[in-house]
Amino acid sequence: MPKDFNSQLAISTGAQPCAPTTHHAPLTFMDVTSTKPPRPRPRGPRGDRKHTPKVDTKGLYKRAIKESFVKLKPRVMLKNPVMFVVYGGTIITALMTIDPNLFGPVQGENLRFFNGWITVILFFTVVFANFAEAVAEGRGKAQADALRSTKSDTIAKKLLPDGSIQEISSTQLHRGDLVKVVAGDIIPADGEVLAGVASVDESAITGESAPVLKEPGSDVASSVTGGTRILSDELSIRITADPGKGFIDRMIALVEGAERAKTPNEIALTVLLAVLTLVFLFVVATLPPIANYVNSPVSIAVLIALLVALIPTTIGGLLSAIGIAGMDRVAQFNVIATSGRAVEACGDVNTLVLDKTGTITLGNRLAEEFVPVNGHTMNEIARVALAASVFDNTPEGKSIVRLAEKLGATVDIDRNLAEGIDFSAKTRMSGTNLPDGSEARKGAVGAIKGFVRSRNGRETPELDAAYERISQLGGTPLAVALNGEIYGVIYLKDIVKPGIRDRFDQLRRMGVRTVMLTGDNRITASVIAQEAGVDDFIAEATPEDKIEAIQQEQAQGKIVAMTGDGTNDAPALAQANVGVAMNSGTQAAKEAANMVDLDSDPTKLIDIVTIGKQLLITRGALTTFSIANDIAKYFAIIPVIFTSARLESLNIMGLTSTNSAVLSALIYNALIIPALIPLALKGVKFRPLSANQLLQRNILLYGFGGAIAPFIAIKLIDILVSAVGLA
């Protein structure tokens, strides 16, 4: 052991080696594979945060009732083909209430009363469908208002080319304008920091109370969002969004439903519903000649009732509500989606490309063990590691200090004379220059080898053995050296997030493949991948590898989702079908992505996939239910209108009369819409099952259930209708 070592690292008690000093710039030794500073992460359980900002739903239903009548305008009704047909039917039956014989002589008693009831029920079917849409829109509007409250018009200090400051309203700011904000100001619009360092309170949009440091040139800390408040110092910002075109504005437009374009899935379903409506319209329109032939003439009012009972009114009425509610759920999760298409694509995702750090493992790696080499003792390596880490304020550095102190090592260094050496991507090591000129270093094994060689020291095969052993354990090996002497290796343990394995298992059951990307070496990556339970991994990955990985998956016809925050992630975010950018990320990343997570939590991608799948499953389940309902309605109406054709045996529900059967089927048809509104808004409960298991389960529940439930409900309504003497 060199003599100067003992003189420098004199054992003492009560030393505070990890306390930061003002004499040295903060050191940033951390990831040997990444230069990014740790990303601020929201704290506390997500359940507490996901509803920020709070949505005010007071008076929602009152407004929705009013809105459901306003939506009766024919121009609005035209947008919903199924309901437009019901609307047309309502008008015709209303005319037949005034004159039951309008379209030809009809036999029967109390025709006005019967036609009147059909009109009322059909009218309410339309109103209920409008109500479902109005409630979903109302919730979206409330969500939008909550979002809007985060951005209030403020006075911005615009920097003019001559250097003077002009005070203008924030709504007059345009892309490219320069503004200055000082402590206490609200940042007027989305922008990029050009100069200054300041702490910003982003709690208005993220719900995270800890202030975030903003500075220019950094990948993760240079973008600011309008509506957030600057707490200290001042910043010069270049505005990156025109008025009304910021992220929040885009989300407001989307959740309000004002600019809601139909998603591909909705378009496909609209076509299916229109085709079904067409088919039943043909069936019903061609029924009178057959009915006349079997001497059972059917009135136009009953034909309209039959048509309305057969067309898929349930899904037709709830379709837009399901879509709006899906967007609303995403917004409640504090994620800004730029299109409904993106949310829907989440439901079809086959592959998730995830960064290791922060998503799969906790952002901070902790020192687990010292492995001495070259015949050094544990105490010696602990002291050198401690000396190399005294100025290191990163979580990793602090954990090394803690471990060394636990082993009884302490150092007594005059902090005014010692100098901290910063970590850089080029040197890949950090450490301390001690007052006597000795150099304590820790860093990537290759870098330390080079350092030792340059000091005429010698390498040892023991080092490579320790490096391999630690890599095989899934840890990051950091070599420790003092001048030309290698003392050993620090085992930095990567901690896989608790519960992440279960989530990947869930995703696998759902048929989603997970790919982990990491800058770590292959051995470490494979161990972490195995521990976390991901399906595949890409080690020593560069940003270009991300795009390649995504393109490879897409070439196989798969839909890929990924998260990212840096400018170098932007091309990959644009390439992915679902790109989720972190709010703490750069403007370029946010613009390339189709979703922005305000909480900057990369694991949320898994939740978004769940929401997307839930949206698709809800739509599918209600469509199945709506079509399955037809069977019961068919059995209710057809046997009673063809009485002379002796179809009594088909009247398995034993319905009292033609009129009561028609009214019961229609009442059921109308009431099922409001009954299913909560399900449409909340979504079918999501279970992490495979596509086949989900299909079987939903066919059983909503298909079989949808066929059986109306039989019981229509029978009960029939008993009620007969009892009160309606028919």
Partner 1 sequence: MKRQTKSQRSPITNYQLPITKSFARAKTPVVIFLVLSLNIILAPIVYAATDGTWQRTQAYALGILGLVTLALIIYLFDVVFRPERY
Q: Which residues are catalytic?
A: 355
Least distance to partner 1, CB of residue 129, Å? 15
CB 277 to partner 1: min, Å: 6
Q: From the CB of 294, what's the least distance to partner 1, in Å?
A: 17
Instruction: Output the CA torsion sign for 263, 266, 272, 276.
Output: negative
Q: Which of 300, 444, 589, 694 binds partner 1 (CB under 8 A)?
A: 300
Chain centre distance of CA 261: 20
Strand-pair category, 560-564 with 536-538: unpaired
Q: Pick between residue 13 and residue 286 the one whose CB is nearest to partner 1.
A: 286
HSE, CB side, 13 Å, CA atoms: give it for residue 121.
27
Which of 160, 182, 267, 700 is close enough to bind partner 1 by CB under 8 A? 267
* Least distance between partner 1 and beta carbon 104 (Å): 5
- Give the nearer residue to partner 1 in terms of CB position, either 83 or 173: 83
Measured distance CA(46)–CA(607) in Å, rounded: 11
The terminus-to-terminus CA distance of the chain in angstroms comes to 105
88 contacts partner 1 (rule: CB under 8 A): yes
Smallest gap from residue 606 Cβ to partner 1 (A) = 32
324, 137 in Cβ contact below 8 A?
yes
Question: Judged by CB under 8 A, does residue 262 bind partner 1?
Answer: yes
Tokens of 577: 């079908």
CB of 278 to partner 1, least distance (A): 5
State the DSSP string of 157-168. EEEPTTS-EEEE
Cα atoms in the 13 Å half-sphere on the side-chain side of 674: 14
Give 221-266 as a 3 state SS string: CCEECCCCEECCCEEEEEECCCCCCCHHHHHHHHHHCCCCCCCHHH
Read off the tokens for 19. 């306390």
Q: Is 160 in the site for partner 1 (CB under 8 A)?
A: no
The least distance separating partner 1 from the CB of residue 251, rounded to whole angstroms, comes to 23
User: Residues 28, 33, 225, 270: which binds partner 1 (CB under 8 A)?
Assistant: 270
Stretch in the footprint of partner 1 (CB under 8 A) among 31-39, 268-276, 512-520, 611-619: 268-276
Q: How far is the CB of 284 from partner 1 (least distance, A)?
A: 9
Q: Do the strands 351-355 and 234-239 form a parallel or antiparallel pair, or are they unpaired?
A: unpaired
- Our CB check for partner 1 shows the closer of 165 and 267 to be 267
List the x/- string, 274-293, binding to partner 1 by CB under 8 A: xx-xx--xx--x--------
Does 223 bind partner 1 (CB under 8 A)? Our answer is: no
Closer by beta carbon to partner 1, 103 or else 686: 103
Which ranges constitute the DSSP H helices of 537-603? Answer: 543-555, 570-575, 587-592
Total number of residues binding partner 1 (CB under 8 A)? 27
Distance of closest approach, residue 636 Cβ to partner 1, in angstroms? 24
Q: Kindly state the DSSP code that residue 27 receives in the 8-state scheme.
A: B
Residue 79 engages partner 1 in binding (rule: CB under 8 A)? yes
Q: Is the C-alpha dihedral spanning 380, 385, 386, 388 positive or negative?
A: positive
432 forms bridges with which residues in the sheet? 420, 440
Q: Which of 176, 221, 178 is nearest to 197 (CA)?
A: 221
Nearest to 69 by CA among 139, 128, 120: 128
Q: CB-wise, 276 or 336, nearer to partner 1?
A: 276
Contact in structure between 657 and 639 (CB atoms under 8 Å): no
Distance between CA atoms of 96 and 308, rounded to whole angstroms?
Answer: 16
Site for partner 1 in 200-219 (CB under 8 A): none
Does residue number 298 form part of the binding site for partner 1 (CB under 8 A)? no
Least Å distance, CB 322 to partner 1, is 16
Q: Which residue in 60, 65, 94, 102 binds partner 1 (CB under 8 A)?
A: 102
Task: Tell me the closest approach of the beta carbon of residue 84 to partner 1, in angstroms.
Answer: 7
Does 78 engage in binding with partner 1 (CB under 8 A)? Answer: yes
Query: CB-wise, 93 or 629, nearer to partner 1?
Result: 93
| CA quadruple 120, 122, 124, 125: dihedral, nearest 10 | 160
Q: What 3-state DSSP class applies to 57?
A: coil
* CA diameter of the chain: 119
Specify whether the CB–CB gap between 343 and 331 falls below 8 A.
no
Asked if 294 touches partner 1 (CB under 8 A), the answer is: no
Of 97-105, 237-245, 357-365, 473-481, which part binds partner 1 (CB under 8 A)? 97-105
DSSP lists the bridge partners of residue 431 as: 421, 441
Eight-class DSSP state of 151: S
φ and ψ at residue 33, rounded to 5 degrees = -110, -5
Cα–Cα distance, 639 to 434 (Å, whole number): 98
Q: How many CB atoms lie within 10 A of CB 490?
A: 31
Which C-beta is closer to partner 1: that of 101 or that of 416? Answer: 101
Q: Find the part of the chain contacting partner 1 (CB under 8 A) among 81-89, 222-230, 247-255, 704-712.
A: 81-89
Nearest residue (CB) to partner 1, 340 versus 519? 340
Comparing CB distances to partner 1, the nearer of 61 and 282 is 282
Q: What CA–CA distances, in Å, run from 272 to 266, 306, 623, 696?
A: 10, 19, 10, 22
Closest contact distance (angstroms) between CB of 324 and partner 1 is 16
SS3 727: coil
Among 35, 38, 84, 554, the residue binding partner 1 under the rule CB under 8 A is: 84
Write each residue from 615 to 654 as x if it is in contact with partner 1 (CB under 8 A), else as -, in one continuous string.
----------------------------------------
Segment interacting with partner 1 (CB under 8 A) among 169-177, 178-186, 269-277, 578-586: 269-277
> Does position 103 bind partner 1 by CB under 8 A?
yes
Among 55, 85, 178, 387, binds partner 1 (CB under 8 A): 85
Q: Name which position in 101, 149, 377, 644 contacts partner 1 (CB under 8 A).
A: 101
Position 76 contacts partner 1 (CB under 8 A): no
Q: Does 165 bind partner 1 (CB under 8 A)?
A: no
Nearest residue to 255 via CA among 345, 346, 328: 328
Q: Is 308 in contact with 669 (CB distance < 8 Å)?
A: yes
Which is closer to partner 1, CB of 89 or CB of 457?
89
Contact 386, 401 (CB under 8 A): yes
**Stretch of residues binding partner 1 (CB under 8 A), selected from 4-12, 18-26, 252-260, 263-271:** 263-271
**Contact mark string toward partner 1, 36..75, x via CB under 8 A:** ----------------------------------------
**What is the enclosing helix (H) or strand (E) of 368?**
strand 366-372
Residue with Cβ nearer partner 1 (112 or 458): 112
Report which residue type is found at 46.
Answer: R
Q: Where on the chain is the footprint of partner 1 (CB under 8 A)? A: 78-81, 84-85, 88, 92, 101-105, 261-262, 267-268, 270-271, 274-275, 277-278, 281-282, 285, 300
